[in-house]
Amino acid sequence: MEQCRNRRALLSSTTSTLTPTDPIRVLHLGCGNSRLCTDIAERWTTTPGLAVGNKGDDDATTLLCLDQVALDYSPVVIERMAAANANVQPAIHWAVDDVRTLTTVADHSVDLVIDKGTMDALQADKENDDMDEDIERMMHQVSRVMRQASATSSSSTDVTGATAAVAAAAFVQFTWEIPYYRLHHTKRAEYAWGTTPDTSISHGFLGESDLYRWFVYKAL
Ligand SMILES: C[S@@+](CC[C@H](N)C(=O)[O-])C[C@H]1O[C@@H](n2cnc3c(N)ncnc32)[C@H](O)[C@@H]1O
């Protein structure tokens, strides 16, 4: 899906969904040979004050720890991406995994889940009689791994013993699918983001594109 080339819009759509937790764990579903994860890593380390929680001032100390996991069910893809991006910092963790099972990802461990074209690939496989079921399995897994909001998480206890709020996770999709067909699959009460578009689900065109869209689902 490298034809979805508006990288600046992609980056600002992804990073703008983030809110402070440490480290920020990002999960890429079906990464393929996309540069999105390396773009995020590079931007993270080279843009003072980019990070999450940045209030637009010059305070570069707001940069937080970035922990990216990129997975694909193709071992060949993962082997090549790991070799090609071995020197990227912060290091990206590469994993062979299936979005329908996410066996390598723990419950409620991810702050930002990114799907760029992977659900599209499932939806495009018209030969697959199990398409609806596969997408549903993928959505249940995404929902399972997203971090839940907490006011008193022990993982956010600082050296003084104080606790801070842990923000709930976001799920971001980049797709050519129109809202009617996409929300048919993704808008369900049982998922972490629920069914209230006014607050937890939003979507729009990507940058100046009139074809590619972003969808953001915020865990409740
Ligand atoms: C259309 S490509 C998009 C790749 C990449 N995200 C991009 O934007 O260029 C879909 C990717 O999803 C992967 N994929 C398809 N089904 C998958 C599954 N069930 N589990 C994990 N990866 C899958 C494919 O191997 C492929 O790399």
Residue 158: predicted pLDDT: 43
Ligand 1, pocket-test mutation among 72, 138, 173, most atoms within 8 A of CB: 72
Q: Does 128 fall in a domain? A: yes
CA distance 72 to 82: 12
Question: Is 37 a domain residue?
Answer: yes
Q: Where does the pLDDT of residue 153 fall: very low under 50, low under 70, confident under 90, or very high at 90 and above?
A: very low
Amino acid 7: pLDDT: 47
Structure confidence at residue 167 (pLDDT): 75
Mean pLDDT of all residues in 31-49: 86
Asked if the structure places residue 80 within a domain, the reply is yes
* 2 within a domain of the structure (yes/no): no
pLDDT over threshold 70, residue 162: no
Confidence of residue 199 (pLDDT cuts 50, 70, 90): confident
Q: Indicate whether 161 pLDDT > 80.
A: no
Ligand 1 midpoint to CA 52 (Å) = 27
The Cα 129–Cα 88 span in angstroms is 39
pLDDT at 186 over 60: yes
Output the six-digit token pair for 33. 């040979």
d(CA 192, CA 61): 31
From the CA of 4, give the closest atom in ligand 1.
8
Please, which residues have CB within 8 angstroms of residue 108's CB and are 6 or more apart in sequence?
A: 144, 145, 146, 147, 148
Q: Does 17 fall in a domain?
A: yes
3-state secondary structure of 91: coil
pLDDT band at 50 (very low <50, low <70, confident <90, very high): low
- For ligand 1, what atom is nearest to the CA of residue 122? 16
Residue 70 within any structural domain of the chain:
yes
Q: Is residue 22 part of a domain?
A: yes
Least confident of 92-106, 137-151, 172-186: 137-151
| Number of domains into which the chain is organized | 1
Using most ligand atoms within 8 A of CB, pick from 29, 73, 142 the residue to mutate for ligand 1.
Answer: 73
Q: Is 1 in the pocket of ligand 1 (CB under 6 A)?
A: yes
Q: How confident is the model at residue 18 (pLDDT cuts 50, 70, 90)?
A: low
Domain CATH for 69: 3.40.50.150
Q: How many residues does the chain have?
A: 220
Let me know if residue 1 belongs to a domain: no
pLDDT given at position 3 = 45
How far away, in angstroms, is 3 Cα from ligand 1 center?
Answer: 14
- Decide whether any atom of ligand 1 lies within 6 Å of the 118 Cβ: yes
Whole domain around residue 97: which residue ranges? 7-218
What is the model's pLDDT at position 156?
A: 47
pLDDT bin (cut points 50, 70, 90) of residue 148 is confident
pLDDT > 90? residue 165? no
Q: Which residue has the higher pLDDT, 171 or 20?
A: 171
